[in-house]
Every structure is written in C-alpha cells, then in structure tokens.
C-alpha cells in the first residue's frame, strides 16, 4: 500500500511496479488502469484520504479481534512479536480481503468518527433569576425545590429549600419547606418549574 508519498516518490514507485507513465504536461499524467488504481489508493481509496502509517498505533488486541471476527482466522501468542504480527495481519487483509467496506473499517480504526453531543440548553430560556424550580442537587436523591439565583452560559446557580417535615394527606406525601432558610448555592444543569404541585411552606 502506498502511503504519504510525494509526487516524485509516487512516480518512482509506479516505475518500480512496471507502470507505463507518460507526462503530457506539468502535473498531468496518463496512466493505465491498474496504475490508476494505485494512484487512487495513494490519494485515498474511493476519494477519501487516510494517514495509513497510523496503523502501527492500533493495539494488537483490537486489530486481532477485528481480524478474527471478520475473517474467522486467528493467531496464537499474539503478544510475542507485536510489530511482526501487526504487519502480517494488515498484509493478509489488504492482499486477500480488500474491499471498499474493509478499507472503510480499517480507516475508522485509525480515524474514529467524532461524536459531538450538543447539550440542550433550551431550558435556560424558560427560567429567570428568582424563579422557584425543582432541580437535582449533587449527592442528593430526587428533586428539590429552590430558587434560581444566577443564570450562566450552560448552567444556573440554585439554592434549595430544606424540608421541615412531611405530612401524609389523602395518601399523598406533602413536603413543608423552610423558605426563609436558604442553603448554599449549587450549580444545576437542568430544572423544571412546578406543575400542579402544592408548594407548602412552614407558617411564619
């Protein structure tokens, strides 16, 4: 496989392989089909490029697992001579099983797709400083009632009300909050406004 060659090195490599190369004008070449396939491989098979030299950095366990599960061949003592075994596996794959799909899978082992998960920040648009909301407090189970004290770019600052007591009414647990006793601020990354929930405070 040709990797990371300059144009001059590519031409020399093609000549070594017996390709007939005719230069029509600077940077314009006419090649026979099999040599053109080599050029496409050099440029990146099927119009994408890859730094194939990074194959040397793929862990032997990962490469051997791929080889075993994809082609049902395996080696023993895979850690005895890792560089030699890695070259042997890659050579077998390229010479015996080379397809667009296989090359794509190898490419993804070198350059895994970047997964970017964009945070949903729309909830910040629904709250303002002073709003009473339910939010999760770090190291505390469930949701807690409190007040928004500050809104940041990707979070908000929240002070939660301690619960003075629980009261069972009609089979439902109701919490009585100590509104005037506000705890230290905590960062929150999601909250919700109370919906049809009684907010009971300790009588003053």
Report how many domains make up the chain: 2
CATH number assigned to the domain comprising residue 181: 2.30.30
Regarding whether 106 and 135 lie in a shared domain, the answer is no
50 lies in a domain?
yes
* pLDDT per residue as tens digits for the range 112-153: 666 666 777 888 888 899 898 988 877 777 788 889 999 988
Q: Which stretches within the chain are classed as H helix?
A: 7-16, 33-43, 60-71, 82-96, 100-110
* Tens-digit pLDDT profile for residues 177-192: 787 777 788 888 888 8
Distance, CA of 89 to CA of 99 (rounded, Å)? 15
End position of a domain, from candidates 84, 110, 136 = 110
| pLDDT for res 1 | 41
User: Could you read off the pLDDT of 3-35 as tens digits, one per residue?
Assistant: 455 667 777 777 777 777 665 555 555 666 666
Both structure tokens of 199: 């907010």
pLDDT recorded at residue 129: 92
Instruction: Identify whether 115 is part of a domain.
Output: no
| Domain end (from 110, 132, 164) | 110
First to last CA, the chain: 81
pTM score of the predicted model: 0.40
Nearest to 12 by CA among 43, 49, 48, 38: 38
Question: Is residue 186 one of the residues assigned to a domain?
Answer: yes
Percent of the chain at pLDDT exceeding 70: 74
Residue 117 domain-assigned? no
Shared-domain flag, residues 19 and 81: yes
pLDDT-derived band at 169, boundaries 50, 70, 90: low
The average confidence (pLDDT) of the chain is 76
Give residue-wise pLDDT tens across range 63-112: 899 888 888 888 888 888 888 888 888 888 878 887 778 877 887 888 76
Supply 121's token pair: 């920040």
User: What range does the domain containing 41 cover?
Assistant: 7-110
Cβ atoms of 105 and 66 closer than 8 Å = yes
């Amino acid at each position: 496989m040709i990797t990371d060659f300059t144009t001059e090195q590519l031409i020399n490599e093609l000549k070594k392989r017996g390709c007939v190369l005719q230069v029509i004008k600077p940077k314009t070449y006419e090649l026979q089909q099999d040599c053109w396939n080599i050029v496409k491989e050099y440029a990146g098979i099927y119009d994408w490029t890859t730094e194939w030299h990074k194959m040397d950095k793929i862990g032997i366990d990962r490469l051997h697992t791929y080889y075993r599960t994809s082609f049902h061949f395996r080696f023993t003592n895979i850690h005895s001579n890792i560089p030699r075994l890695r070259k042997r596996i890659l050579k077998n794959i390229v010479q015996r099983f080379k397809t667009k799909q296989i090359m794509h899978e190898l490419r993804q082992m070198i350059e895994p797709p970047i997964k970017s998960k964009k945070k949903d920040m729309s909830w910040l648009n629904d709250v303002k400083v002073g709003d009473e909301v339910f939010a999760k407090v770090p190291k505390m189970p469930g949701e807690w009632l409190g007040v928004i004290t500050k809104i940041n770019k990707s979070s908000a600052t929240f002070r939660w009300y301690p619960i003075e007591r629980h009261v069972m009414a009609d089979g439902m647990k109701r919490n009585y909050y100590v509104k005037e006793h506000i705890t230290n601020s905590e960062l929150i990354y999601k909250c919700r406004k109370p919906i049809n929930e009684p907010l009971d405070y300790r009588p003053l």
